[in-house]
Amino acid sequence: MMAAILETHDLDASYGPTRVLTKLALAVEERGITALLGANGAGKTTTLRALCNMMVRLSGEVRFAGERIEGKATEDIVRLGIAHVPDGRGTFTGLTVEENLRLGAYVRRDKRGVAQDFARVFGYFPRLAERRRQQAGTLSGGEQQMLAIARALMLRPRLLLLDEPSFGLAPILVGEIFAILGTINREEGVSMLLVEQNAKVALDLASHAYLLETGRIVMQGPADAIGRDESVRRAYLGY
């Protein structure tokens, strides 16, 4: 594996007195796509929250580009170049598509760069361009997911965290979105940590994968190897 843009050591995370993650050690390949798989309740969302220091109490180490970031405020972590697309999309439903995207670039100072990025994300997601002035809450599920990803891209992030982007979407749409994610990764070198319940699409896209069960990593390795593993196939791929 290439250099890691993000790594964790001995990461524990709890909600109040309830421990959810135990001694997590994972690494996200720089310029690559890493998948974090697991069933409902395994702790996948918690992992992403812990990385952003949101809503959980954590101990252990999180390093981004070599620097320790655990304990930093979420707003500061964002400024380092980590964009998080949360579960449920997290779109500002009361605001327009354009306002959502503008907020994605909130911390940036380079106006020209932001204008360029508007063009870029509209290029990836032409449907959003059509609905530019529409209120985000009126978009369909798939469009909202696109908007959520597009908003994250407006940060010009080095690392993109995605929480179950396939959730609730029709397979065709999932294919479309994941293809775009692949393109973004290849053309712009944005590293990605992809949390998914849908193991198949995740393993098709990612190069490296981790399997999470009740808060612990139980398996890791190249995505295709994981995909061929007998137990994984039976438990998560259905064959």
Partner 1 sequence: MNALWLAALGLVLVVLPFVLSSYHVFQLTQVVVYAIVLLGLNILTGYNGQVSLGHGAFFAIGAYTTAILLDKTGIPYWATVPVGGAICLVAGFLFGLPALRLEGLYLALATFALAVATPQILKYRHIEQWTGGVQGITFAKPDPPPHIPLDSDQWLYFFCLVIAVPVYVVGWNLLRARTGRALVAIRDHPLAASAMGIDTAFYKSATFGISAMFTGIAGSLGAIVTQFVAPDSFPIFLSLSFLVGIAVGGIASIPGAVFGAVFIEFVPNVADAISDAAPWAIYGLVLIVFMYVMPEGLAGLLRTLTRRFDARGERGLAGAASGRKREPRTSDARSP
Partner 2 sequence: MDTFLQQVLSGLATGGIYASVALALVMIYQATHHVNFAQGELAMFSTYIAWTFIDSGMPYWLAFVLTLAISFVAGVLIERIIIRPIENAPVMAIVTVFVGLLVILNSIAGWIYGYTIKSFPSPFPSDAWYGGRYMSPHEVGMITVTLVMLLLVFLFFRFTPLGLAMRAAAQNPLSSRLVGIRVGWMLALGWGLAGTIGSVAGMMAAPIIYLDPNMMSGVLLYGFAAALLGGITNPWGAALGGFIVGVLENLAGAYVVGTEIKLTVALVIIVGVLLIRPSGLFGRTLVTRV
* Residues engaged in binding partner 1 (CB under 8 A): 55, 86-91, 93, 137, 140-141, 144, 167-168
Rounded Cα distance, 93 and 105, in Å? 17
Residue 51 makes contact with partner 2 by CB under 8 A: no
69 near 77, Cβ under 8 Å? yes
Residue 103 makes contact with partner 2 by CB under 8 A: yes
DSSP character at residue 237: I
Binds 99: which of partner 1, partner 2, none (CB < 5-8 Å by kind): partner 2
The one segment of 13-21, 32-40, 87-95, 139-147 that binds partner 2 by CB under 8 A = 87-95
Residue number, 93 or 116, with CB nearest to partner 2: 93
Rounded Cα distance, 200 and 173, in Å? 15
Kindly calculate the radius of gyration of the chain based on its CA atoms and give it in whole angstroms.
Answer: 17
29 near 191, Cβ under 8 Å? yes
Among 51, 52, 128, 146, binds partner 2 (CB under 8 A): 52
Rounded Cα distance, 110 and 97, in Å? 21
- Min dist. Cβ of residue 120 to partner 1 (A): 25
Q: Maximum distance among all alpha carbons in the chain?
A: 51
Binds 140: which of partner 2, partner 1, none (CB < 5-8 Å by kind): partner 1
Residue 83 makes contact with partner 2 by CB under 8 A: yes
> 138 — phi, psi (to 5°)?
-90, 0
Binds 74: which of partner 1, partner 2, none (CB < 5-8 Å by kind): partner 2
215 near 20, Cβ under 8 Å? yes
Of the candidates 225, 224, 157, the residue with the CA atom closest to the CA atom of residue 193 = 157
The one segment of 7-15, 29-37, 83-91, 219-227 that binds partner 2 by CB under 8 A = 83-91
Q: Point out which residues bind partner 2 (CB under 8 A).
A: 52, 54, 74-75, 78-79, 83-84, 86, 90-95, 99, 102-104, 106-107, 151, 155
